[in-house]
Amino acid sequence: MTDPALTISIDRTSLSLSALVMTGHADASRVLSVSDYQEPALQARINYAPTGDAHGDMPLSWSYQESILGFNVFYEGATSEAEMRSRIAELVAATGRLTYETTVTVNGADAETWTCRPGTIQPIGGRTRSDMRLYNPVWSVSLPVYPIRSVT
């Protein structure tokens, strides 16, 4: 059985840099590898009319609210703590902008592009002795996204 093909690419054109590309395969030549991925949910936001003392609610309109594109990353090729942290700093810079696009391709399906807001990046749990020795903690990435993706 082969590993699933997953690519997450964060556009950095506004930073005058090429895209930050992460894949679902551990490979020291990549900036970061993705260990887990969660697609954004489509969550409805419903606006209701004031009903006073009447039972129930009268829906007036609805829209999808912003959601979260989530994934976990690690850098298996680090040879020092400083090198690993520089990879994470690159991810922080890429996701620390008011708006940018992130494109996700899963198992050869059409690429889906999400308009993102500033993201949150944090280590998962505590650092273990093993990951401190090998410089490869896992980081959780949460990117707020506009709820409708574009498919290319």
List the CATH number of the domain containing 57.
2.40.30.200
pLDDT of residue 77: 78
Q: Which domain holds residue 114?
A: 6-151
In a domain, 120, yes or no: yes
Tell me the CA distances in angstroms from 39 to 1, 16, 28, 53, 124, one per residue in order.
23, 28, 25, 40, 19
Whole-number Å distance between alpha carbons of 69 and 67: 7
Single-letter residue type at 54: A
In a domain, 95, yes or no: yes
Overall number of domains in the chain: 1
pLDDT of residue 39: 93
In a domain, 43, yes or no: yes
pLDDT of residue 1: 45
In a domain, 137, yes or no: yes
What are the residue ranges of helices labelled H in 30-136?
Answer: 81-95, 129-134
Whole-number Å distance between alpha carbons of 124 and 135: 14
In a domain, 85, yes or no: yes
**Going residue by residue through the chain (152 aa), what tens digit of pLDDT does each one get?**
455 689 999 999 999 999 999 988 655 556 789 999 999 999 999 999 988 777 888 899 999 999 999 999 998 778 888 998 999 999 999 999 999 999 999 988 999 999 999 999 999 988 888 778 777 889 999 999 999 888 77
In a domain, 1, yes or no: no
- What is the pTM for the complete model shown? 0.86
pLDDT of residue 29: 59
In a domain, 140, yes or no: yes
In a domain, 113, yes or no: yes
